[in-house]
Structure 1
Amino acid sequence: MVTELIRAFLLIFIAEMGDKTQIIAMTFATQYKIKEVLAGVLIGVFINHGLAIVLGQYLSKLIPMNLIQLVAGIMFVIFGLLALKEEELGKKDNKKAFGPIVTVALAFFIGELGDKTQLTAMTLSAEGSYPFIILCGTTLGMLGTSGLGIFVGSKIGEKMPDISIKIISSIVFIFFGTLKLYKWIPIEILNPFNIGLYFIGILFVHLALMRRLINRRRYSEYSPIKEVAATLYVQTKVLKEAVDDICLGEGICGKCSGKDCIIGYTKRLLQDARDKEQYYVEEKANLSKFATKNFDKTKVIEALSLIIADYMEYGMIKDEEFIVNQVKDSLELILLGRNIRFDGDLPKYIRHIKRINYSVGKNLENTINDKLSPSI
């Protein structure tokens, strides 16, 4: 019983380290409390894996055990190879229509449908004796990776690249799959030639997929986990320093309350984001009601260029309630008296600004280009 619990936990934990589950969990944690995210993960995964385990138990009564073990071995090997595949982070609905826990639960339930962790839970239950214990193990494994996902970008991700985690995960699954195949494949097939052919084939495919993964990462400065972490944790720190530099100071304005001044309001948003780890505002403010004052336009251009250059290099979160988008709107109002839509087309964005104020547009264009890498 304990062996099945530990085995289920470790397989799921290793399989999801460095995968989309951690990225999704970390992203949700920027909007909701950590306990709400973990509660949502628990509910979503428990239902998802519960269905898989019920199905696995049903199959075990209809199909001979030796065939189930062979299929499980093959699936584990396939999972191991798929672990080297670069996963895309699906788009997440930010409308919060169902409340934090239900939103997270739905996201994880739907996201895990047909995923390798759900199929792993199914195969483990088909061969195991304690389905509920296996369900507990797989659910705890997902909770473990989701919990670490909140910190992995700034902690583990810096010490152990997620590409290494993917390779380790791949090796673990291939190892367990190979053991199953060796145990359940008919003895007459297990001759030196076939065994050698199997290992050569697995090694060839594994190296090819690993080389493809490494080559794709070579052209990207940030891995998916670090990219999200940089956007959410580092970007607001850099922006806050730039916005603080724009502030005229108490010597001119008096004590800043953040209620009347657009820069004061923006500073308060960024400080709250850093202190509370909540990067989405509850409701988009009417920025036009704030006073803009006589801010240094060069410093405002510098701050806005940080945002646009980051959008160009690492992509953007389009939700208007995202804190960085709020800062962009504030800076544009100071410079231009209005907001300019940015859809990823930098020349188009600059053209719009130049039509309003050519000097500002030209200076912003030069400042952004100075920040962009040569590949952009």
Structure 2
Amino acid sequence: MESIIQSFLLVLASEMGDKTQLIALVLVARFRKPWTIMAGILVATLANHGLASFAGEMVASWLSPQVLKWGLIALFVGFGLWILIPDKEECLDERKNYGAFLTTLVVFFLAEMGDKTQLATVALGAKFNSVVAVTIGSTLGMMVADGLAVFLGPRLLRKIPMKAVRITACFLFIAFAILIYFQI
């Protein structure tokens, strides 16, 4: 349960103001099909984070506990600092129309490749050595964060200062690094 909760909290915090949340806003404005967009986000995230969790578990099996510990600490501190840099909204190709579900699935899967959330999921998979639990937690975090964008949209984001959200998420990543230092 700890791996699900920590994965959920970390991904939720890191997704606030992230490019995928901005993409969710663009998609819901473009297609006006929030449930279809959420379904696309779910499938893309399950696939992407499932692969990332598996990769993290594999890396953990190859590294000594000491190397893994210091690698995870460095990654989480790095992610904490990285999250302080705001993402920019990426444009969707308006010339092609594959429908709300397929567009969301492809855009979200590709947007998460190499993203801090995917890399954090790799690290979480290495830390907890549980593909299923980390995938569940990280997917729930993505769904909540992007669900806020899809269903509450600009009204909510206008009221939340993104700088404060990024600073809070930074502290959360660093807190995870400190926990790793004392746990492994």
Q: TM-score scaled by structure 2?
A: 0.92
Q: What are the equivalent positions in structure 2 for 1:170-189 lying under 5 Å apart?
A: 170-181=170-181
Rounded Cα–Cα distance in structure 2 between residues aligned with 1:141 and 1:23? 15
- Tell me how many residue pairs correspond in the alignment: 182
Shift of 1:99: 2.3
Does structure 2 retain, via aligned residues, the 8 Å contact 1:44–1:109? Answer: yes
Rounded Cα–Cα distance in structure 2 between residues aligned with 1:3 and 1:95? 44
Does structure 2 retain, via aligned residues, the 8 Å contact 1:74–1:181? Answer: no
Rounded Cα–Cα distance in structure 1 between residues aligned with 2:129 and 2:86? 34
Structure with the larger RCO, 1 or 2 (CA within 8 Å, 6+ apart): 2
Q: What are the equivalent positions in structure 2 for 1:73-92 lying under 5 Å apart?
A: 73-92=73-92
Does structure 2 retain, via aligned residues, the 8 Å contact 1:21–1:145? Answer: no
Number of the residue aligned with 2:37: 37
Shift of 1:134: 0.9
Does structure 1 retain, via aligned residues, the 8 Å contact 2:3–2:134? Answer: yes
Shift of 1:94: 2.3
* Paired letter, 2:30: Q
5+ residue gaps in structure 2? none
Rounded Cα–Cα distance in structure 2 between residues aligned with 1:42 and 1:149? 14
Shift of 1:149: 1.1
* 1:144 corresponds to 2:144: yes
Shift of 1:96: 4.3
The Cα offsets for residues 120-140 of structure 1, whole Å up to 9 and x where unpaired, read as: 111111121421111011111
* 1:23 corresponds to 2:47: no
Shift of 1:152: 4.3
Question: Would you tell me which structure has more helix in proportion to its own residues?
Answer: 2
Shift of 1:159: 3.0
Does structure 1 retain, via aligned residues, the 8 Å contact 2:7–2:121? Answer: yes
* Paired letter, 2:91: K
Residues 49 and 86 (structure 1 numbering): CA distance in 2 closer, same or farther, change over 3 Å?
Answer: same
Shift of 1:24: 0.8
Does structure 2 retain, via aligned residues, the 8 Å contact 1:36–1:101? Answer: yes
Q: TM-score scaled by structure 1?
A: 0.46
Q: What are the equivalent positions in structure 2 for 1:221-370 lying under 5 Å apart?
A: none
Rounded Cα–Cα distance in structure 1 between residues aligned with 2:58 and 2:4? 20
Rounded Cα–Cα distance in structure 2 between residues aligned with 1:182 and 1:136? 25
Rounded Cα–Cα distance in structure 2 between residues aligned with 1:55 and 1:87? 25
Rounded Cα–Cα distance in structure 2 between residues aligned with 1:37 and 1:94? 17
Residues 57 and 129 (structure 1 numbering): CA distance in 2 closer, same or farther, change over 3 Å?
Answer: closer
Rounded Cα–Cα distance in structure 2 between residues aligned with 1:134 and 1:110? 20
Shift of 1:182: 5.1
Rounded Cα–Cα distance in structure 1 between residues aligned with 2:96 and 2:9? 32
Rounded Cα–Cα distance in structure 2 between residues aligned with 1:68 and 1:178? 14
Does structure 1 retain, via aligned residues, the 8 Å contact 2:60–2:129? Answer: no
* Paired letter, 2:5: I
* Paired letter, 1:27: V
Runs (4 or more) in structure 1 with deviation over 2 Å come to 94-99, 157-160, 178-184
Rounded Cα–Cα distance in structure 2 between residues aligned with 1:127 and 1:171? 19
Rounded Cα–Cα distance in structure 2 between residues aligned with 1:69 and 1:108? 30
Rounded Cα–Cα distance in structure 1 between residues aligned with 2:182 and 2:129? 21
Does structure 2 retain, via aligned residues, the 8 Å contact 1:65–1:127? Answer: no
Residues 40 and 96 (structure 1 numbering): CA distance in 2 closer, same or farther, change over 3 Å?
Answer: farther
Identity percentage over the alignment?
32
What SS is found at the alignment partner of 1:88?
A: coil
* Paired letter, 2:42: L
Number of the residue aligned with 2:97: 97
5+ residue gaps in structure 1? 185-376
What SS is found at the alignment partner of 2:88?
A: coil
Rounded Cα–Cα distance in structure 1 between residues aligned with 2:14 and 2:123? 14
* Paired letter, 2:15: E
Q: What value does the CA root-mean-square deviation take over the aligned residues?
A: 1.6
* 1:70 corresponds to 2:70: yes
Number of the residue aligned with 1:124: 124
Shift of 1:115: 0.7
Rounded Cα–Cα distance in structure 2 between residues aligned with 1:152 and 1:103? 19
